[in-house]
Amino acid sequence: MRIQGRSDPELTEIGHTQSLALLEQLKDRPLSAIYTSTLQRSVQTAQPIAQHLGLPIEKRPELDEIAFGILEGKKLSDMDESTKSELDRFRQNRLTYRIPGGENYTDVADRVRPLMNEILWKHRGREVLIVGHRGVNRMMIGILLEQPLELAVKVEQANGCLYVIQRNGEPRVFHYLNAEIREGLLFEGQRTVL
């Protein structure tokens, strides 16, 4: 496994397959806008649905993945004891510990929150697709569902998982995974309804 962070590889073959699955899930939805990070794997994921609906993709740096600093692009199997120690410290306290040159999840929430407010205001009452990354998505979900960051960092955001969040009145969340839709969030290895 490689720590991607802000590194910018293209989508893998599996990623392309998942982008077509996203198209299938959303092709009949009344989307009014599509936002992605500036990283090409996010943009390439959104391209099939954007082309199908004739919508432009708005690339926003606020949606770029959490920065992993000195660990960017490293494979777990190639790490020395020092870099493994940095990763362990981060995993133990993801809200406050920063890997040298990186961010923590509080930093990510602070950069994503104003964008979420902007999108909610600009697209009131309409559906929007946001294609981000695991760390950013966790914080967005927490912000949109008005949950504490301590809970948001535990949200599972597997590749191929799509969350649908309704904000009309009481926030509700649904997840699509393996062609199944269920209400609730996935938390690190289990399904939980909020």
CATH of the domain at 161: 3.40.50.1240
Contact in structure between 160 and 134 (CB atoms under 8 Å): no
Q: How far is CA 31 from CA 25, 123, 127, 160, in A?
A: 12, 10, 5, 19
1 within some domain: no
* Euclidean distance between CA atoms 71 and 2, whole angstroms: 9
8 within some domain: no
The first and second tokens of residue 148, run together, are: 């504490």
* Euclidean distance between CA atoms 194 and 188, whole angstroms: 15
7 within some domain: no
83 within some domain: yes
Element (H, E) at 75: none
Residue count of the chain: 194
**pLDDT per residue as tens digits for the range 178-190:** 777 888 887 876 5
Mean pLDDT score, 144-170: 85
164: containing domain: 13-192
162 within some domain: yes
Mean pLDDT score, 73-89: 90
2 within some domain: no
The number of domains in the chain is: 1
* Euclidean distance between CA atoms 181 and 81, whole angstroms: 41
84 within some domain: yes
Matching residue, tokens 């191929």? 160
**pLDDT per residue as tens digits for the range 15-70:** 899 999 999 999 999 999 999 999 999 999 999 999 999 999 999 999 999 999 99
* Euclidean distance between CA atoms 91 and 88, whole angstroms: 5
5 within some domain: no
- pTM listed for this prediction: 0.90
